[in-house]
Amino acid sequence: MQMGMHTDTERCVRAVRSKDARFDGWFFTAVLTTGIYCRPSCPVVPPKPENMVFHPSAAACQQAGFRACKRCRPDTSPGSPEWNQRADLVARAMRLIADGVVDREGVPGLAARLGYSTRQVERQLFAELGAGPLALARAQFGE
Protein backbone atom coordinates (compact mmCIF):
# COMPACT_ATOMS: atom_id res chain seq x y z
CA MET A 1 0.00 0.00 0.00
CA GLN A 2 1.30 3.42 -0.94
CA MET A 3 1.29 6.67 0.97
CA GLY A 4 -1.80 8.77 0.43
CA MET A 5 -4.27 5.91 0.58
CA HIS A 6 -6.76 8.36 2.12
CA THR A 7 -7.15 9.89 -1.36
CA ASP A 8 -8.56 6.60 -2.79
CA THR A 9 -12.14 7.23 -1.68
CA GLU A 10 -13.64 4.07 -3.16
CA ARG A 11 -11.09 1.84 -1.47
CA CYS A 12 -11.52 3.65 1.85
CA VAL A 13 -15.32 3.29 1.70
CA ARG A 14 -14.95 -0.47 1.03
CA ALA A 15 -12.55 -0.85 3.99
CA VAL A 16 -14.93 1.03 6.32
CA ARG A 17 -17.97 -0.98 5.15
CA SER A 18 -16.16 -4.26 5.81
CA LYS A 19 -14.64 -2.91 9.09
CA ASP A 20 -11.24 -4.08 7.84
CA ALA A 21 -8.70 -3.70 10.68
CA ARG A 22 -5.80 -4.11 8.23
CA PHE A 23 -6.40 -0.49 7.20
CA ASP A 24 -6.22 0.89 10.75
CA GLY A 25 -3.47 3.47 10.80
CA TRP A 26 -3.44 3.86 6.98
CA PHE A 27 -6.31 6.35 7.03
CA PHE A 28 -9.03 7.74 9.30
CA THR A 29 -12.70 8.30 8.50
CA ALA A 30 -14.23 11.63 9.51
CA VAL A 31 -18.03 11.76 9.50
CA LEU A 32 -19.43 15.10 8.36
CA THR A 33 -22.85 14.60 10.00
CA THR A 34 -21.52 13.76 13.48
CA GLY A 35 -18.17 15.58 13.64
CA ILE A 36 -16.51 12.36 14.83
CA TYR A 37 -13.60 10.45 13.29
CA CYS A 38 -12.95 6.70 13.44
CA ARG A 39 -10.62 3.87 12.52
CA PRO A 40 -11.66 1.86 9.44
CA SER A 41 -12.46 -1.08 11.77
CA CYS A 42 -14.85 0.89 14.03
CA PRO A 43 -17.71 -1.37 15.19
CA VAL A 44 -20.41 1.29 14.70
CA VAL A 45 -22.74 1.19 11.71
CA PRO A 46 -20.81 2.77 8.81
CA PRO A 47 -22.04 6.21 7.69
CA LYS A 48 -23.28 6.89 4.17
CA PRO A 49 -20.35 7.29 1.76
CA GLU A 50 -21.32 10.89 1.00
CA ASN A 51 -20.92 11.74 4.71
CA MET A 52 -17.39 10.29 4.92
CA VAL A 53 -14.14 12.18 4.34
CA PHE A 54 -10.76 10.54 4.75
CA HIS A 55 -7.60 11.83 6.40
CA PRO A 56 -4.08 10.38 6.65
CA SER A 57 -3.80 10.78 10.45
CA ALA A 58 -5.73 11.34 13.68
CA ALA A 59 -3.97 14.71 13.96
CA ALA A 60 -5.29 15.75 10.53
CA CYS A 61 -8.83 14.85 11.63
CA GLN A 62 -8.45 16.89 14.82
CA GLN A 63 -7.07 19.86 12.89
CA ALA A 64 -10.12 19.66 10.61
CA GLY A 65 -12.33 19.98 13.71
CA PHE A 66 -13.36 16.35 14.26
CA ARG A 67 -13.28 14.59 17.63
CA ALA A 68 -12.27 10.98 18.35
CA CYS A 69 -14.87 8.21 18.46
CA LYS A 70 -15.34 6.82 21.97
CA ARG A 71 -15.83 3.25 20.67
CA CYS A 72 -12.82 2.67 18.41
CA ARG A 73 -10.46 5.24 19.99
CA PRO A 74 -8.70 6.32 16.79
CA ASP A 75 -6.56 8.73 18.81
CA THR A 76 -4.71 5.76 20.34
CA SER A 77 -2.32 4.87 17.54
CA PRO A 78 -0.10 1.79 17.27
CA GLY A 79 2.70 2.07 19.77
CA SER A 80 0.76 4.16 22.29
CA PRO A 81 0.11 2.63 25.75
CA GLU A 82 -3.64 2.33 25.05
CA TRP A 83 -3.03 0.55 21.74
CA ASN A 84 -0.43 -1.81 23.25
CA GLN A 85 -2.80 -2.67 26.09
CA ARG A 86 -5.57 -3.51 23.62
CA ALA A 87 -3.29 -5.59 21.37
CA ASP A 88 -1.91 -7.36 24.44
CA LEU A 89 -5.42 -8.21 25.68
CA VAL A 90 -6.26 -9.80 22.32
CA ALA A 91 -2.97 -11.74 22.22
CA ARG A 92 -3.51 -13.05 25.77
CA ALA A 93 -7.13 -13.95 24.99
CA MET A 94 -6.08 -15.91 21.89
CA ARG A 95 -3.48 -17.87 23.89
CA LEU A 96 -6.08 -18.78 26.53
CA ILE A 97 -8.64 -19.73 23.86
CA ALA A 98 -5.99 -21.96 22.22
CA ASP A 99 -5.42 -23.59 25.63
CA GLY A 100 -9.13 -24.49 25.79
CA VAL A 101 -10.14 -22.04 28.54
CA VAL A 102 -13.42 -21.13 26.80
CA ASP A 103 -14.31 -24.82 26.42
CA ARG A 104 -13.65 -25.50 30.11
CA GLU A 105 -14.70 -22.25 31.81
CA GLY A 106 -16.80 -20.44 29.23
CA VAL A 107 -16.42 -16.82 28.20
CA PRO A 108 -16.87 -15.54 31.79
CA GLY A 109 -13.91 -17.74 32.83
CA LEU A 110 -11.82 -16.29 30.01
CA ALA A 111 -12.76 -12.73 31.02
CA ALA A 112 -11.97 -13.43 34.69
CA ARG A 113 -8.50 -14.75 33.81
CA LEU A 114 -7.83 -11.65 31.69
CA GLY A 115 -9.09 -9.31 34.41
CA TYR A 116 -11.76 -7.68 32.22
CA SER A 117 -15.53 -7.88 31.99
CA THR A 118 -17.04 -10.41 29.58
CA ARG A 119 -18.42 -7.53 27.53
CA GLN A 120 -15.00 -5.81 27.27
CA VAL A 121 -13.29 -9.01 26.14
CA GLU A 122 -16.00 -9.67 23.52
CA ARG A 123 -15.83 -6.07 22.30
CA GLN A 124 -12.02 -6.07 21.96
CA LEU A 125 -11.94 -9.41 20.14
CA PHE A 126 -14.69 -8.23 17.79
CA ALA A 127 -12.84 -4.96 17.16
CA GLU A 128 -9.52 -6.70 16.40
CA LEU A 129 -10.59 -10.02 14.89
CA GLY A 130 -14.23 -9.59 13.84
CA ALA A 131 -15.43 -12.47 16.02
CA GLY A 132 -16.20 -13.11 19.66
CA PRO A 133 -14.43 -15.59 21.98
CA LEU A 134 -16.99 -18.37 21.47
CA ALA A 135 -16.76 -18.22 17.68
CA LEU A 136 -12.95 -18.10 17.88
CA ALA A 137 -12.87 -21.15 20.16
CA ARG A 138 -15.23 -23.08 17.87
CA ALA A 139 -13.24 -22.14 14.75
CA GLN A 140 -10.07 -23.28 16.44
CA PHE A 141 -11.39 -26.70 17.35
CA GLY A 142 -13.38 -27.18 14.15
CA GLU A 143 -16.78 -27.61 15.77
Encode pLDDT of 84-128 as tens digits. Answer: 666 678 888 888 888 899 999 999 999 999 888 999 999 888 877
Distance of alpha carbon 124 from alpha carbon 139, whole angstroms: 18
**Count of CB atoms situated within 10 Å of the CB of 118:** 17
pLDDT at 106: 94
Q: What is the reported pLDDT for 30?
A: 96
Choice among 38, 42, 61, 69 that is catalytic: 38
**pLDDT band per the 50, 70, 90 thresholds, residue 135:** confident
Would you place residue 22 in the very low, low, confident or very high pLDDT band (cuts 50, 70, 90)?
Answer: confident
Residue 55 has pLDDT above 50, yes or no: yes
12 in active site: no
